[in-house]
Structure 1
């Protein structure tokens, strides 16, 4: 790993590590982090092999400014999601779909229950209607034909 000379002033070893890590992340060729890791101030520090709190604006104001400037310039570029993020997204979608299936199944079962209750009531009412019709005395239709309508 060759260190690049970024400015005419002398850089500390830590700043050189941060700058090299920044360059590797910009090129999507990290050594410590998984490939496809998004570029952020914390990830630059992690790629440099140090705690993220080590890369502070008070210690490295120019570098932090460069990182922020690069992030602002590349805001539109959508980074690829890691396999874990994809898997978690799929799990979440599957969980939502299972919930929806359960809800729809419950709604279907409720609707089917109501349909069966309605059919049972229709059968009961038809039987009652037949029973009541059988109790009525026969109607003499000839009476209606003779009347003056």
Structure 2
């Protein structure tokens, strides 16, 4: 609750500090810092925090947002790289499973070819027993 002796600027500054440290009392945890959110955290209408009345505070908020906006971009970039790395790890796992399945299918195909060659040789031997190969003609 705002104190009776606390000025509006002090309430805005307190709200700004709470938002910067990530410990808001009014807004949800993790709410971003902005002029509107500082005013809301101070339990006032967003239009109450005007540049004409609080120019120094507005400059501080804007500077903090700009600096931390750049840090946020770096954080977003890191998160994107982490996601890409996680996607790469998942892709490697998926491709490893595909490779293992392909190798298994290839080994099965080789085994089947050998079985068919053996069956063919066995049947050819039986055929040769039943029908001996033709003898060459003599002159």
TM, length-normalised to structure 1: 0.49
Matched, 1:123 2:117: yes
Higher helix proportion, which one? Answer: 2
Shift of 1:56: 0.4
Matched, 1:63 2:46: no
Shift of 1:45: 1.4
Deviations 1:103-131 (A, max 9, x none): 11011001101110110011001100111
Shift of 1:14: 5.0
Secondary structure at 1:57's aligned position in 2? coil
Provide the C-alpha distance between the structure 1 equivalents of 2:131 and 2:103, rounded to a whole number of angstroms: 44
Shift of 1:15: 2.2
Aligned residue pairs total 90
The residue number in structure 1 matching 2:8 is: 11
C-alpha RMSD over aligned residues: 3.4
Shift of 1:136: 0.8
Shift of 1:100: 0.9
Structure 1: give runs of 5+ residues left out of the alignment.
Answer: 1-8, 22-43, 68-78, 139-149
